[in-house]
Structure 1
Amino acid sequence: MAAQSSNARKDQDVWKHLWAMSVPTAVKNFAWRACHEVLPIRVNLKKRKIVEVATCPCYEAAEETLIHAIWACPAAQDVWGSHLSYFHKCSWVVLSFRELFAKGLQFFPREIVELMTVVAQHPDETYRGALKSLEVYRMCKQIEIIRQPSMEQVPHIAAWCPPPQGTVKINYDAALDTQQGYVGVEIVARDHMGISEPCPEIYGASKDYRVHGSSWSCHIQ
């Protein structure tokens, strides 16, 4: 029971750090699918009878399992060792991506684990390309945070300003329905006390117009 409880805590830590990564959502989804071994690598495709052989196309001496394609294949190791000094000649022997991700969390800073996950998603992408995509993503997130309005800000509400005494102020709005061929106008006429006045006479409407208090609509000819 103690071992099961320990494994459960480790899994919770993996999921917690995975979804908290400062990477695009697509990278998080990839990592989650990789941890559950549900990516379309050749071993899985052979099980579904989509391909006949599961041999790795880059290293024919082994089957293309997920951890082989991402980590153990000599071609993948060339990618990891080319620029990622943290992983250069790394001697980790892992059996799954979840184990690889957990080891990264154990030995490396969070930023390196995030970079590792981006490279794992696109093993053919160079280290500089992965680093650049992360920098652009984080820059956009910072701009988004800066642009978000403060919760303490009170929205500005425009107040109605009364006209001088002896005059009437007219406020109006209009909407066009192109499918039905109608235009509608809402008119509010108020004096300096804010008391509504009778709707002004409407000019320019066809004989198919209808007046309802302070609103009218007419058919477009």
Structure 2
Amino acid sequence: MESSTNNTAWKTLWKLRIPAKVKIFVWRTLHGALPCRVVLANRHIKVSGQCPLCAIGAEDILHMLFKCPRAAEIWSLLECQKFISEALEYDRAGSAVLEFLLCSSFRSGIPPDGFPELVATTCWYLWWERHKIGHDEPVQLPAQSAFAIRSLAANFTAASPSKAHLKKQGWTKPPTDRVKLNVDAGFDADSLRATMGAIIRDHHGNFVSATNWKIDFVADVEAAEAHVVRIGLELVALTGCTRVIIESDSFRM
């Protein structure tokens, strides 16, 4: 591929709302640097170049991500098959097909919002499943994999809100007969962990109580926000406050 200064693929890649590990995977794929079986066999590593899933093709990037029957079924379940078919019309390498999907306009229609993130997440997920197969671990049915991919792509996008949607404003005092509970949660889409904090202040702005928490597994950013509200309300109950205003900087609340 061309240098990052004049190739739109790189500009597209680094702007995607996906975790760093998925970006690095896409970066390696665009360079044709995935250690699939064909590459390993060409490097004289004793491994069959045949696809371990379908056994009807050699496992290169093109076959692994787009042409293997299992991959094709998952793309179809994700309603992306017409875009994949258009990308496969010409004799392209797997890295070139991925670049086409990330950067091109399509004759077959306009892809949905978040399509590049869905493409990147799907390719990463297909690669991750192949790792599981290589370690003799079971994988899901294609329909289950497609559902998981949609959920992951949606969570990745939701965890990276556009700065245009964020509006900063100062803290305002609650009415004299109430306290204000401020809550905030941070969600890491890479590890699916969340950190959260809550603070209570009175109508003068004086500190009443506070707490912080960490959760090692959270399904998505909405769940993290719900957890921190629960923790904040438990703090309110412990301090004996009965009239409370809840405030969060989440644009989803």
Q: TM-score, normalised by structure 1?
A: 0.54
Deviations 1:51-86 (A, max 9, x none): 3321112233321111111111122111111x2223
Determine which of 53, 57, 66 is the counterpart of 1:58. 53
Runs of 5+ consecutive residues of structure 1 not aligned to the other structure: 1-6, 154-221
Quote how far apart the aligned CAs of 1:96 are: 2.4
Give the alignment of 1:1-221 within 5 angstroms: 12-81=7-76, 83-88=77-82, 90-91=85-86, 92-93=88-89, 94-104=91-101, 105-106=103-104, 107=106, 108=111, 111-123=114-126, 124=129, 126-142=145-161
Percent identity between matched residues is 21
Structure 1 residues 60 and 52: alpha-carbon distance in aligned structure 2, compared to 1, 3 A threshold: same
One-letter identity of the residue aligned with 1:100: V
Quote how far apart the aligned CAs of 1:118 are: 0.5
CA distance in 2, matches of 1:110, 1:67: 25
Q: Would you say the 8 A contact 1:14–1:101 is kept in 2?
A: no
Paired residues, number: 146
CA distance in 2, matches of 1:64, 1:134: 25
Quote how far apart the aligned CAs of 1:134 are: 2.5
CA distance in 1, matches of 2:46, 2:166: 49
Describe the SS at the equivalent of 1:60: coil
Structure 1 residues 119 and 60: alpha-carbon distance in aligned structure 2, compared to 1, 3 A threshold: same
Structure 1 residues 47 and 120: alpha-carbon distance in aligned structure 2, compared to 1, 3 A threshold: same
Q: TM-score, normalised by structure 2?
A: 0.48
Runs of 5+ consecutive residues of structure 2 not aligned to the other structure: 130-143, 172-253
CA distance in 1, matches of 2:124, 2:48: 23
CA distance in 2, matches of 1:59, 1:77: 12
CA distance in 2, matches of 1:109, 1:10: 28
Larger Cα-atom Rg: 1
One-letter identity of the residue aligned with 2:123: A
CA distance in 2, matches of 1:126, 1:101: 20
Q: Would you say the 8 A contact 1:42–1:65 is kept in 2?
A: yes
Q: What is aligned with 1:173?
A: none
Higher relative contact order (CA 8 A, sep 6+): 2
